[in-house]
Structure 1
Amino acid sequence: MDFMVKMAMAHGYKMHPRGNGTKSLNRGKHIHSGNTKPRNAFGCGECSKTSAHPNVHRKHSPFEFVKHLQGAKKGDKIEGIHNLKKFLHQFGYLDVQYLNDQEVDHDDQLDENTERAIKAYQLNFNLNPTGILDSETVSLMSRPRCGVPDIINGKTRMNSGASNYTTNYKFFPGSPKWPISKKVLTWAIAPGTRKDVALSLQGFSTQQWKRAVPFDFKYIGEDNVTADIKISFKKGDGPQKALAYAFGPTSGVMVFDADENWSNGAVPGKYDMGTVGLHELGHVLGLDHSSDKNAIMWPYIGDSTRRGLGLDDWYGMKALYK
């Protein structure tokens, strides 16, 4: 039994012949490939206090405001709606011009545009698209995630309403990828970066993807200029930030939030560098976000967790570099 069949069985997939993934409501997504830079992420930095590890000290989630908005619907005026609008804007769900036309910091009205944005978010993550902030929507919005927006210029390639047996992987516009002739992709960390970061990425993230792409990965230390893949840490933009973000081929830039509690492995109250690195390396290699919760390219991740590739990730990378 080959590796792909074993993965399929482990994830509860039925093996059916298929093409290059399914299309999603004909909605294309224009998002960071080449040298295109993603917008500043507004993602969550820490999990909320509720955890499987109640004795671990945690910061309050910067998205605590979402919890008291549960049940909000069109027409409601509740303090904190303006923060919801900022969240939806940063991940591409609310139009820039719409926000510029309003005093958003003082606008706590859940209007038609905001309802439409909530529905789009719910569709992308296979939630019931009611436009109401139900418990499932609030719970997901509160979780830490990748900083790459789900929508840019009003378009998305994330799947909606797909079944568990459908491939949900997506590529960047034009399906950019690294030339197979390279054989080896070099990677480096910025000078001064903790060495355990390199160990985590080298020992887990690159080894996982190595089985799915026609490349080997070579660590070249702190030569963050000539390397194909350049890894660095930067301070997040305020308390409302994402864990990390990356650019698509062939930019090779991968940035982690320096303010987070990182670990090499699943440690209570910390984020596993290997797992987050695995997701961001998927972007660097050419995969966009997936709407499959079992995929590493699903944009949300919790702390105290180490995850590997899902079948959807494997299929996607194999299709890109076929």
Structure 2
Amino acid sequence: MLPCRARLVSVLLLFLLALLRRPLPVACLHVAADAPLTATEHRQDGAAWRSFQQLLDARRGSRVAGLSELKRYLARFGYMPAGAEHEPATDAFDAHMEAAVRRYQSALSLPVTGQLDSATLDRIMAPRCGVGDNGHGATASVSLATAGGAVSRFTFFKGEPRWTQPDPLVLTYAISPTATVDYLPPETVRTVFRRAFARWARVIPVGFAETDDYDAADIRVGFYVGGHGDGIPFDGPLGVLGHAFSPRNGRLHLDAAERWAVDMDAETAHSAVDLESVATHEIGHVLGLGHSSSPKAVMYPSLSPRQKKAELTVDDIEGVQWLYGPNPGFSLSSLYQQDSSMATGTSSWLAGSASLVSAVLVILVTLL
């Protein structure tokens, strides 16, 4: 009798272990999951920012070689006092550095520890947009409760600039015929940008018309290396991917030193960057949006190599609609409902699993 009972207990324990190890349902909205980030893999193909691995776990009071470079990085993107990027920096982790790290962690939705933990260094070392966060280039944030119950995290350039013309608002854009990358056919690049512009046009009453007249276009797109005449030089592979200027400037620049890809299934380079994701992000800046602190948003400042993130989230859409109003042919309600149904499905799965676990535990207690 005892061997049979022992076998039954063993079977129940194995069943309970398998149940607890079952993955939760995924509840993401139109966004591919972030690619894994580690603090050692992102700088293998470029020296845009030297490896900050030696800074792991640095905190206030420590002094580590490389902190001065990190201070310049944080100053560049708006987390240190104005002008700090061009001032002499030391390798001391002082109170100003701790405050900057906390601001960075908060703005990028990381655990706010004030220390250079692995999650923070991984995000710092990830490729990103060259437009600053937290007021660098002067963005203004908003915090709004959405109809779906979430809190919006989108931001704008200072003054909430937007394109204004008599209705209907149609902006022309052109891809530079000379500032290109030789391995991507011009028509392929144009197709990518058509899709990227169409995503924004779907949600706001703004049209985009492609033109061959580059100099006369409202929005001018080009690939450049290093210094290229706008005072914001690019820094090589896997550093700053691109940058764009607020309305009505219209310039959208991409770093030609990156390995740009349009089809990750066919692309073999582990350092490849998805062109459509970056194009969609930079168009958001051209329209007046700053960076979002929502990691799933297109307007989040960083993008991992080989990551695809081109579909607009609720946060992206609410931000651009704040500037231009909603497109009469588009409604956010379906996205809210989808998000809600996913959350409900996850809750139901958890509730059902809890009940089953309880039943198994009761049986085990009875047998023991």
The TM-score normalised by the length of structure 1 is 0.75
Any gaps of 5 or more consecutive residues in structure 1? Answer: 1-8, 13-45, 52-56
Q: 1:226 to 1:48 in 2, by over 3 A?
A: farther
Query: Residue 166 of structure 1 is aligned with which of 132, 143, 151?
Result: 151
State the AA in 2 paired with 1:229.
I
Specify whether residues 271 and 156 from structure 1 end up closer, same or farther in structure 2 by C-alpha distance, changes over 3 A only.
Answer: same
Q: Which segment is superposed worse, 263-272 or 142-151?
A: 263-272
Match 2:252 to one of 248, 251, 254? 254
1:201 aligns with 2:193: yes
Deviation at 1:66, TM superposition (A): 1.6
TM superposition shift of 1:64: 4.8
Q: How large is the RMSD of aligned CA atoms in angstroms?
A: 2.9
2:175 is equivalent to residue 186 of structure 1: no
Larger Rg: 2
Distance 2:206 2:275 in 1: 22
Report the equivalent of 1:113. 96
- Paired letter, 2:210: Y
Paired residue for 2:355? none
Q: Answer yes or no: is 1:242 the counterpart of 2:233.
A: no
The answer on whether the counterparts of 1:158 and 1:170 sit within 8 Å (CA) in structure 2 is: yes
1:151 deviation in Å?
3.1
Among candidates 295, 298, 303, match of residue 296 of structure 1: 298
Map of 1:83 onto structure 2: 69
Using the TM superposition, give the Cα deviation of residue 60 of structure 1 relative to its aligned residue in structure 2, in angstroms: 4.7
User: 2: CA distance between counterparts of 1:98 and 1:231?
Assistant: 30
8 Å CA contact 2:139, 2:155 repeated in 1: no
Structure 1 counterpart of 2:158, which letter?
P
**Cα contact 2:57–2:116 (8 A) shared by 1:** yes
CA change 1:182–1:235 in 2 (3 A) is farther
1:99 Cα deviation from its structure 2 partner: 5.8
Decide which moves more: 190-199 or 108-117.
190-199
The equivalences for 1:90-101 within 5 A come to 90-98=76-84
Measured at CA, do residues 49 and 109 of structure 1 come closer, stay the same or move farther in structure 2, by a change above 3 Å? closer
Residue 161 of structure 2 aligns to which amino acid in structure 1? P
Query: How far did residue 251 of structure 1 move?
Result: 1.1
The reply on whether 1:314 has 2:317 as its aligned counterpart is yes
CA 215–177 in structure 1, closer or farther in 2 if over 3 Å, else same: same
Q: Work out the percentage of aligned pairs sharing the same amino acid.
A: 32
Q: What residue number does 1:41 align with? A: none
CA distance in 2, matches of 1:318, 1:288: 13
Contact 2:131–2:137, Cα closer than 8 Å, also in 1: no
CA distance in 2, matches of 1:147, 1:93: 14
State the Cα distance separating 1:95 from its structure 2 match.
Answer: 2.0
Q: Distance in 1 between matches of 2:93 and 2:127?
A: 24
Contact persistence 1:143–1:301 (CA under 8 A): yes
How many Å separate the matches in 2 of 1:234 and 1:159? 33
Counterpart-to-counterpart distance in 2, 1:152 and 1:167: 17
Does the CA contact (< 8 Å) of 1:47 and 1:303 recur in 2?
Answer: no
Counterpart contact for 2:39–2:122, Cα < 8 Å: no
Structure holding more helix per residue: 2
Gap regions ≥5 residues in structure 2 = 1-26, 31-36, 227-233, 326-368
Kept in 1: contact 2:293–2:300 (CA 8 A): yes
Greater mean deviation of Cα atoms: 171-180 or 282-291: 171-180
Question: Aligned letter for 2:123?
Answer: L
The offset of 1:174, in angstroms, is 2.2
- Residue-by-residue CA offset, 1:160-199 (whole Å, 9 max, x unaligned): 9x99921112222222111252532110012223503222
The number of residues matched between the two structures is 270
Q: Distance in 2 between matches of 1:10 and 1:131?
A: 29
